[in-house]
Structure 1
Amino acid sequence: MLSTPRRSPTMVRRSSIWLLCVLAQVATAIYLPISQSCTPDKTAIRREWGEMAPAERKSYTDAVLCMTRKPPRLSTAEYPGVRSRFDDFVATHINNTLHVHYSGLFLPWHRRFTWLWERALREECGYTGYLPYWNWPLWTNDLKKSPLFDCSETSLSGDGEYNPDEQPISGGNMTIPRGSGGGCVRCGPFKDLQIHLGPFSRDLTSFTEIPSPKFEYNPRCFNRSLNNFVTSHYNNETIVSRLLASTDIVDFQTVMDHWPPRPDGVLGVHGGGHFSLGATMQDLFASPQDPAFMLHHCMIDRLWAMWQSRDEKNRRYALNGTTNILNPPWGQPVMLNTTMEFGVLDRPRKVREVMNPTGYGLCYTYT
């Protein structure tokens, strides 16, 4: 019988050192972002809509319209309201709404979602630019005069027709005045846009599963109602500065996302952007049907990225909340290894994969 050779103390020490090195490499691969390939010359730069040349803006809206003409990847038999590639994104948002809003997944999930949209525009519709953002404070007092909503061919279209039946919005201890439109959008690139999914109720407290109408086909015009009251109160420079001055992730989330509004009238910058554009954008589940959705969430991601970069040690991987809407006591806490779902848009992703805009295949920054 062969005997096992005895290992010298030196051999044992070398083996132990080798094992520790391997473990360190594994830990690095697991916990640190993969950013070596994201060099400055490869980094995409996302810009504010008004900074883009008119031709660049037109190129973006042309690509969005291209998405509305492309066939979906989701099954129409299973998702009757999904009639285009554009609708694939809307349905994916609906499918995940009860996990990625008012929860610990809000920021990381939407970072990946908007990046997937940008990638689809570039790879499937020939768009050569990157996702622009809507810098709310620049146009808080007059949305109609902004290059985003001035109804020109280089805008995201503008206000809807005046609808006398549009009502103010009540929530908490406050009422939000109605906007200036409320009807179908009849100008700009999206004047003929037809939306297919929703609308859904605003009563978030009663939802434990996706409510009716789920994914039913409900074709109708694209609706807007520009609301300067909302933007001037909830998306102004003072509140954006307050958001960036947040002391920790809990404080950051609090300024970002108040709904229902507090008695002192704080809605939150996230809700402010949604409620400033009317019924289509106010639909928590189906709001990506408004082409401004992606630019709004790009601005949210920009501010999160700015806030993270100001204190890398304490903020880059800061998380708070659960995987369920409104963070119920029974919800699972969000961790770096929590898995996020994206349906037909992407494979499942760990939260750690999106915590850095220059890691794990992401490679972008903002002006």
Structure 2
Amino acid sequence: MARLLSFALLAVSWLSLFGLVSADAVNDLFKKSKPNLDAQLAKSKTCTKDKLEVRKEWGDLSATDKKAYIAAMLCIMQKPSKLDKTKFPGAQSRYDDFVVVHMNQTMSIHGTGSFLTWHRYYTWSFERVLKEECGYNGTQPYWDWSKWSADPEKSPIFDGSDTSLSGNGEKINHKASAMTGAPAGNGGGCVKTGPFKDMVVRLGPVSPAVDPAPPRNPRTDGYGSNPRCLRRDISNYLSSRYLRTQDVLGLIQNSRDLATFQNVMQGAGGFGGGGMGVHSAGHFTIAGDPGGDFYTSPNDPAFWTHHGEIDRVWTIWQLQDINTRVNIVSGGTSMMGFGRQQSLDDLVDLGVVGHKVYKIRDLVSTVDGPFCYTYDT
């Protein structure tokens, strides 16, 4: 049996190398693992099949559903912030509240044991606020990178239509990315198409990776008010190399343990180092300001579909072996490698955007704790 499994994984690796993996390979893997999802549901104390919500890929949503999600996002951008104005003067909306929470915890939620659970809860909390404060009736969509890896600009997410999350930035003269090695794309300037063409970015920058550099924030911590346009530099340079079906399938099939899965997902040496994982590649495919700043990246509306896919891929990986891949944690408590090892009893606190404070162990399954959702196939 072990030899057969090793042969199967080797075959996937060779097929991936030559780009011969079926476009539906990841979905097929998910379909085959449905019995494990049913087993999780049967043991859940909080989620049942009749309550189970299904998240869909952006391109599979109807125009009506896309517009409902967009309207809810625009709605929370108009709702007043719940943060202390003296501490966070740049946070003027409920949307800004989410950005501040991410900024404030960035160094303990990337390259750490809480990366996956924190962002699962964070994305779910965004969906919850859309529902509770702006009347959204749908679920959080995701961006299937592999579907659009050859040309993300032409995807329904970034095509600039009124049912997109807005298009690329205007084409301006700018330099290649020193961080990723990606050449200058066809954008770089302000987004001028789609529902978020008039969006104002106020927070940051903190760690910008964009040319030309955005104006400095009046505060060194990035929390001051620094109004500017949303900028993007979308291209297929990274997506056509790191976000293909074979890349996603290889991540799932070849990661035997959680540490490997997390590190490969974020880049072989962790976030931003030693390689380009799907997490970094997705962010830098969008690029621009604030999408290329990993402190303030949630300020780009596409952040949420990107992290919806991060969560979906983790879910599929978990479902391959729920006995060993669900109630576990791996990694330290600091991105810089300091601190102790993360524990399942460590707390995840999202402050003014969270439902309540949870332990990591409450956030490891999509069908337990506060969660009751899955993904379509």
Name the TM-score, length of structure 2 as normaliser: 0.82
Match of 1:352 among 352, 358, 361: 361
Partner of 2:196: 190
Partner of 2:108: 99
Q: Tell me, yes or no, if the aligned pair for 2:266 and 2:272 is still in contact at 8 Å.
A: no
| Aligned AA (2:228) | R
C-alpha distance in 2, partners of 1:34/1:198? 43
Partner of 1:152: 161
Deviation at 1:89, TM superposition (A): 0.3
Q: Tell me, yes or no, if the aligned pair for 2:202 and 2:228 is still in contact at 8 Å.
A: yes
Match of 1:139 among 148, 173, 190: 148
C-alpha distance in 1, partners of 2:234/2:64? 25
Partner of 1:178: 184
Give the alignment's Cα RMSD to 1 decimal: 1.7
Match of 2:329 among 319, 338, 345: 319
Deviation at 1:156, TM superposition (A): 0.4
| Aligned AA (2:329) | L
C-alpha distance in 1, partners of 2:51/2:286? 35
Deviation at 1:145, TM superposition (A): 1.2
C-alpha distance in 2, partners of 1:324/1:131? 28
2:190 alignment partner, SS class: strand
Deviation at 1:36, TM superposition (A): 2.7
1:41 alignment partner, SS class: coil
C-alpha distance in 2, partners of 1:273/1:33? 34
C-alpha distance in 1, partners of 2:186/2:112? 32
Deviation at 1:170, TM superposition (A): 2.4
Q: Tell me, yes or no, if the aligned pair for 2:363 and 2:370 is still in contact at 8 Å.
A: no
Matches within 5 A, 1:1-367: 35-164=44-173, 166-171=174-179, 175-201=181-207, 212-245=220-253, 246-258=255-267, 259-262=271-274, 266-279=275-288, 280-326=290-336, 328=337, 330-346=338-354, 347-367=356-376
C-alpha distance in 2, partners of 1:92/1:355? 21
Q: Tell me, yes or no, if the aligned pair for 1:319 and 1:335 is still in contact at 8 Å.
A: yes
C-alpha distance in 1, partners of 2:70/2:243? 24
Name the TM-score, length of structure 1 as normaliser: 0.84
In the TM superposition, what whole-angstrom CA distance separates every residue of 1:64-103 from its partner, at most 9, and x where no partner exists?
Answer: 0001000111122210000100000000100110100111
C-alpha distance in 2, partners of 1:106/1:366? 20
Quick check: which has more Rg, 1 or 2? 1
Q: Tell me, yes or no, if the aligned pair for 2:158 and 2:164 is still in contact at 8 Å.
A: yes
In the TM superposition, what whole-angstrom CA distance separates every residue of 1:42-76 from its partner, at most 9, and x where no partner exists?
Answer: 01100000110011001100100001000111122
Cα 1:202/1:181, change in 2 over 3 Å = closer
| Aligned AA (2:205) | P
Partner of 2:214: none
2:238 alignment partner, SS class: helix
Q: Tell me, yes or no, if the aligned pair for 1:179 and 1:278 is still in contact at 8 Å.
A: no
2:178 alignment partner, SS class: strand
2:291 alignment partner, SS class: helix
Gap runs ≥5 in structure 2 = 1-40, 210-218
| Aligned AA (2:350) | F
| Aligned AA (1:338) | D
| Aligned AA (1:116) | S
- Size of the aligned set, in residue pairs, is 321
Q: Alignment identity in percent?
A: 41
Deviation at 1:34, TM superposition (A): 8.0
Q: Tell me, yes or no, if the aligned pair for 1:34 and 1:361 is still in contact at 8 Å.
A: no
1:108 alignment partner, SS class: helix
